[in-house]
Every structure is written in structure tokens, then in C-alpha cells.
Structure 1
């Protein structure tokens, strides 16, 4: 059986670029000239203390260690020279010595702080590189291609420094067709990520063993229950996971098992339809359900696109409290290709929420039949 073929499209890490040496030198000289001029006009060395001596502190946050050393040395020389001139004009020795010592101490602290900042940035870059390697094994990079389906999309965790959030997805090619899952773990933090790992690991194992979606859903529910049992022993909160499971094969219909998740949307020939699916309880809560999870069927004709998402899309609010009008926006964006649609929706929902708004994890997937399957 052929395996999943995937194209890795991870975003490169964004690193801060320090200013050029010429820019630093020009800025320092300009600031020095301005401060000295103000000090001469005011006939008070307080201007130097209040404005110039903090240049090294600014450099420590923006520049390299070498550049910060230059700024610190320049500042010490200028301040020391200025206070000597002030002393020659009658400034008390105590004031001159205190200002020079203060400038020297601040310059040394700035160089040290710059070194510590760059060291931490290097450690963070190494950690993010390790996290990226983990992500490639936990959340496969999109797009994903199997013999039955082509899955594309956007995944954005709520915290920019965390590559894996509470929203999850996966695509597994099995003997009975391609199993597609999208889910949302209740809560945030490392405990939620642990539950996400448990579900993804169980899916990849059980998808090759269980011939039906009901049995697959039971296996995932058992995985969440085991995770909750361990969480209870360690004093962590228990979690549940909403999930939508799909099975796509050569037929023109799709099997779906909905475990408390948002139903999919079918886009075909400019029309939008939402299949009527039963809504079972989320994974981890099956013991509380009166009835077991059921499997529904809905049409998935050649050329159609399935849109799957988490509540980070549907529950986004505008500044006035209005929910994101997904169906209305989908009707406007329906002409886009399945490759461009997820990113366009993501950009649109962020613009809808407005700047400075708090965002939830977002996962948006489009599913089409693979080339050769009538797509």
C-alpha cells in the first residue's frame, strides 16, 4: 500500500536582524550632538544624565555585543569629557565623579545584558528548531496527498512561540480508504498538547487496524480516557477532544463520524451545503453518552471541496461582538482554489477580528479527491 506523499512547506524562523554598523554610528553621533547641544543651551549636565547615558541600554536591546560595546565606549568618553569641561568651569567634583561612575556602570551593565539577550535568543532558536522537528512528526506539514484525497490548509496556534496548539489534524491512508481527522482539545497549555498527542498517536495506529469509523472513534475515545487517567494521577486537569472523522475512498460519498465537532462544508459548482450529521459526545466522554457514535454518509462528487475547521474560525468575534459570518464569506471566496482558500479565510478572519484582538488556535483544511480519482 503506498504511503502518504507530503510536501514540506514549513515557514522559516524569523530572526531579528541587528542594524548595520554605519546606522549605529550615525545614530549615536546624531544623538550625541543633539544631547550636547541641549546641555550647552540649558547649562545643566542633567541633560547628559537623562538622555545620553541611556544610549547603551537602547543598544543592548537592538544591537550586537560589538555594537553595544562601541556605543558604551563612546558614551563613557563623551560623558567623561563633558563632565571634565564642566568641572573646569566650576562644576563640583562630586557631581562629576558620580556622573562618570554612573555612566560607566550603566555601560558595563548594557554590554552584559546584550550578551545575555543574544545567548537567550540562540537558545530559543535551538528550541524552536527542535520543536519544528517534533512538529513534522506530530503534525504532518500540509499539503498531504494520498491515493484518495489531497488535503491542504492552514494551522496557526494561538501562541506564536508555540508550534503546536490545542487544534489537531491528521491524514492516514488505510486499507479502507483515507481517514481524515480534525479536532480541538479542550483548554490550553501543555496538558492540552499532551491530549492532542494522545489522539494523534492513537489515530495513526488504529486507522490501520479498525475497518469502521465507529471502531476508530472508540479507539480514540479510549486513548483520551487513558490520558485523563494519567492526568488525574499527576494532578492535572482532565480533557475532552471534539473531533470529526472522515473516510474517503473511491465512492462518491464520504463516511463521517462527528464527535461533538463543527460539521464540514461542501463547496461544489459555487454552491455551499452543510451535511446533516449526528453530533456525538467529544472524545473522552463516551461513558457519559446514552448512545454510541454513529456514522453518516454525505455526497462528495468529483470536483467538490470539503472545508473543515475548528472553532477558532467560527467563534471569532468582531470588536462589536459579532461572530464571523463563515457562510457569507465562503460564498464570496468560493471561486478561489482549494490551495488558496484556507489562507484567504485565515487572513479574512484576522481582519474581521481587528488589530489587538485575542485569537484562538485555528485549523482550516480543504479536502479534494486526488488526481486520478475524478478531482
Structure 2
């Protein structure tokens, strides 16, 4: 892929030339060896058709011209029995190549349009998300957001930080689906968080406000014929420092999102178990089936030398060639000596190496530590 991850990379000109010459030589030798009047050289017309789906318009035109020249020369050296057959062959070849060039031009134009749309969506999403790092009276938050590279549409990762009278509040989440509709849902969640974080004294009240925002957004989506979506999220409330041994006191409400990881100063890594939570937008459905209760708060301490790592499934669902998911806990343990500010980039780099550079979803990694921690 290109460095921006939006337009497929065309094959190199050298590879195209070598491939075309090899195919031409093979067909000409096969025709000579057959000792018959078989017109095997006409099979070359498939080369521009194959290239039209991968290469540039210039490459497709060049190969089409080459094929037409080879067919003309072959027809002159080994003419069909009638003039009509000769003319018909040339007209068919030229017509087929012209159609292939047109299809290639249409494909390239479509890819460029999708690229512009995706770049606009990425730019919009970046404007909605807060620049990192962020330092408050309670914590310092470093992070990374990287849009998916192998998809035409941007994903729905979201995060935010708010320094409020109730402490620092952090949101990380992932909207179901991709594209501008997913960004719209994410914007509804972010807007609700930026108000509720300052208004609601209890963290569960913030989560309830986010739930209401997704429900309202889904109601508008249904009216306009769009798909309803849900959002997985974790909402944190941090107060600190809590003492010499405690960098911050943490409250967490889980809304169906991935569990955070705690990387301690001695290199130990543990997954922070949070009470099971229903994703935002599904609470009413869960209540109607008797499967939902009030959202619960988990309280724990963030050590002064510890780092709390929040992430989305762009990391956890990175797969190697055999389909094995990236072992996040082991990866964090291997990065135990990495400064917290460099930890998100380092974790993303390891996950990308694990998957061979393939990305299936947006990547968000947040590293939360006490304001005075290294």
C-alpha cells in the first residue's frame, strides 16, 4: 500500500516489462513448436485485462500497444487464410484493448475518489479527537491514534480526556462499523462525554449520559434509514496523587470494552478485571430481555511507578500468518523498560510486526500514569 494507506500500489514498471516479455516469448515459442496454424499469440490480449485491475493507466496503455504490435507482426508473418479473418482479428484486438484501457481508467478514478473521501474522513476524525499528550493535575496521558491502512473507510475509534471538578475523566471506545456514519455516532458520544464529565458527580452518571446519547443518535439514524450502532467504551475517573506509593486512585465503568492493562514498575503486567458491562446503545435491549443491571464501578489504585494501558481491538486483533492474535500481555511485559511516553508507539510497532504490517482496524493506545511518574 501507499504510505497513506489508501491507494493500492501499482506493480513496478520493471516487473510489468519482464512479465510481458516472458509471456510473449512463451506464447510465440509454443505457437512455433505446435507446428499448426493455432493463433496462440492472441492469448496475449488477456495481459492488459489482468493489468487493468492492478496497474496504472499508462502501464495498461503500454501493454495494450505492445500486444497490438505483436498481433500485427504475427498476422503479417503467419496470415490467416482470408483477408476478412485478418481484418477481423485486428479489429477485435484493438477493440478489446480500448475497452480494457477504459475500465482501467475508471478503476483508477474510482480509487482516487475513495482516497479523497477517506482522507477527508480521517481529517474530520482527527479534528474531533483531542491532541495527545495531555497532562492534568491528576495524571499524564500519552497516546497514539492510527487509522486503519487496509480499508477504504476509516474506523470508529474514539477517546477523550476531561479535567473536571470531580477529577480527571478519560474515555476510550470503539464504534461498531466504519465510515462517516460511525464517525457520526462517535461524535455523539464525544459530545455527551464532554458535557456529562463536568455535570455528573458519579461516573455511572457519565456512562448513563453516553448511553442516552447513543440511543438518541440511533433514533435519528432509523428515521433517516441508516443502521443503528452500538459503542464499546471504558470510562475512567482518576484522582491523584493518592500518596507516595499510589500515583492515582482510579474508578472505572466498563461498557463492553476491552479490559485495560496495568504495567507495574517491576515489569509485571496484569489485566484489570472490570465488571461486565453492556455496550452503549444496547442497554434498553438488554433490559427487555432481563440481561442488564445497573452499571458497576470498579475501584483500584494506579501505582506511582505504574502505567495503565487502554487500547482498542486494532491491537488485540492483530494476527500473524497462522491466525494467532497478538499476545498483548506478553508484548507489554517485553516493553516494561520503555518510557510511558514511547509505550503506545512501541506497542503498535510490535503488533504491526506481528501481523506483517496488515491492519484490519484503527489503532488507539493510551498510556495513563501519575503526573510525576517517569
Please give the TM-score of this superposition, normalised by the length of structure 1.
0.76
Describe the SS at the equivalent of 1:247.
strand
1:55-84 Cα offsets, whole Å, 9 max, x none, are 332443444434433332232222122112
Query: Which residue of 152, 162, 167 corresponds with 1:161?
Result: 152
Alignment of 1:145-156 (within 5 A): 145-147=134-136, 148-153=139-144, 155=146
Unaligned residue ranges in structure 2 (runs of 5+) = 242-247
Counterpart Cα distance in 1 of 2:76 and 2:308: 76
1:207-257 Cα offsets, whole Å, 9 max, x none, are 344444233222212212212332444455544433211123442312323
Alignment of 1:3-82 (within 5 A): 12-13=4-5, 15-16=7-8, 18=10, 28-29=20-21, 31-43=23-35, 44-50=37-43, 52-82=44-74
Counterpart Cα distance in 1 of 2:192 and 2:174: 15
Coordinate RMSD, CA, aligned: 3.9
Match of 2:133 in 1: 144
- In the TM superposition, residue 152 of structure 1 has moved relative to its aligned partner by 1.4
Pairing 1:334–2:336 present? yes
Match of 1:226 in 2: 216
Match of 1:271 in 2: 268
- In the TM superposition, residue 160 of structure 1 has moved relative to its aligned partner by 2.1
Describe the SS at the equivalent of 2:155.
coil
Alignment of 1:1-375 (within 5 A): 12-13=4-5, 15-16=7-8, 18=10, 28-29=20-21, 31-43=23-35, 44-50=37-43, 52-87=44-79, 91-140=81-130, 143-147=132-136, 148-153=139-144, 155=146, 157=148, 160-165=151-156, 167-185=157-175, 193-234=183-224, 238-251=228-241, 252-269=248-265, 270-275=267-272, 277-285=274-282, 288=287, 292-310=294-312, 326-339=328-341, 341-342=343-344, 345=347, 363-370=364-371, 373-375=372-374
Describe the SS at the equivalent of 2:253.
strand
**Mean alpha-carbon deviation: is it higher for 296-305 or for 60-69?**
60-69
Counterpart Cα distance in 2 of 1:35 and 1:214: 72
Change (3 A) 1:114 1:319: closer
Counterpart Cα distance in 2 of 1:118 and 1:73: 19
- Conservation of the 8 A alpha-carbon contact between 1:286 and 1:292: no
- In the TM superposition, residue 104 of structure 1 has moved relative to its aligned partner by 0.9
Change (3 A) 1:231 1:267: same
Change (3 A) 1:259 1:131: closer
Counterpart Cα distance in 2 of 1:248 and 1:339: 19
Describe the SS at the equivalent of 2:70.
helix
Please give the TM-score of this superposition, normalised by the length of structure 2.
0.76
1:293-347 Cα offsets, whole Å, 9 max, x none, are 4544321232310012346656788999987655455434434443554455556
Counterpart Cα distance in 1 of 2:293 and 2:318: 32
Describe the SS at the equivalent of 1:207.
helix
Change (3 A) 1:136 1:186: closer
Counterpart Cα distance in 1 of 2:273 and 2:54: 55
Describe the SS at the equivalent of 1:54.
helix
Unaligned residue ranges in structure 1 (runs of 5+) = 1-10
